[in-house]
A and B are shown apart, each in its own frame.
Chain A
Amino acid sequence: GAVVSQHPSWVICKSGTSVKIECRSLDFQATTMFWYRQFPKQSLMLMATSNEGSKATYEQGVEKDKFLINHASLTLSTLTVTSAHPEDSSFYICSASNGDTSSYEQYFGPGTRLTVT
């Protein structure tokens, strides 16, 4: 089956620094990638949708200048949390849509746990 990887799987950073999280589709081309955020004991909430080569579309309430998303290729999307603060500590999960098939396919990465101290 299709595989989506995320790197790193966990990261601890100091308040005020920036952190980059990578999401890769390993064996398929992802025309669309999604970034979700999950706070402890809560559900997944979509942050933004990115299509290869175009600007990401952010959900209402998500600061685009703080959460920079780049989808430079069909297999890679990155999320950069700029000037991270403790309230940004969360579990970030990406998903990728398989553009090669006609049926519905969207695959989730294993997630990245971010802790800002």
Chain B
Amino acid sequence: AQKVTQAQTEISVVEKEDVTLDCVYETRDTTYYLFWYKQPPSGELVFLIRRNSFDEQNEISGRYSWNFQKSTSSFNFTITASQVVDSAVYFCALTRNRDDKIIFGKGTRLHILP
């Protein structure tokens, strides 16, 4: 069975601090995809990143970076120099392929305090 665990329910940091959101996944598939989505108060899901199981390279996009470690089944997300606009709920997710359902973690609610 597939499962995504985001142990941090809620995090509050002061603006400009770095923050890391943890994600641990479980799957028996050798091929799978991992995602991070941002959900602001409006509710719309904002796609942040997709990683396939064969690509363990870490990724950096501006202030965002992701650390994918198959050995520990983790796909952590770091925001550097956080900003108030980063306040949202962040979901880590997992799927086998595009025609399969996406399994979401419970989400981490991030508060960036001014």
Residues of A within 8 A of B (CB): 31-32, 34, 38, 41-46, 49, 91, 93, 95, 97-98, 104-106, 108, 110-111, 113
Whole-angstrom CA separation of A113 from B44 in the bound complex = 11
- Cβ contact within 8 Å between B104 and A104: no
Whole-angstrom CA separation of A111 from B45 in the bound complex = 8
Residue from the list A43, A93, A106, A113 in contact with B98, Cβ < 8 A: A106
Interface size class of B (residues with CB under 8 A): 20 to 34
Helix, strand, loop or mixed for chain A's interface?
strand
Q: How far is the CB of B52 from chain A (nearest CB, A)?
A: 7
Q: How far is the CB of A50 from chain B (nearest CB, A)?
A: 11
3 shortest interchain CB distances as A-B pairs? A110-B44, A46-B101, A104-B98
Whole-angstrom CA separation of A49 from B95 in the bound complex = 14
Is B102 close to A, CB under 8 A? yes
Q: A93-B45, A108-B45, A111-B44 are in contact. Are A98 and B98 (CB under 8 A)?
A: yes
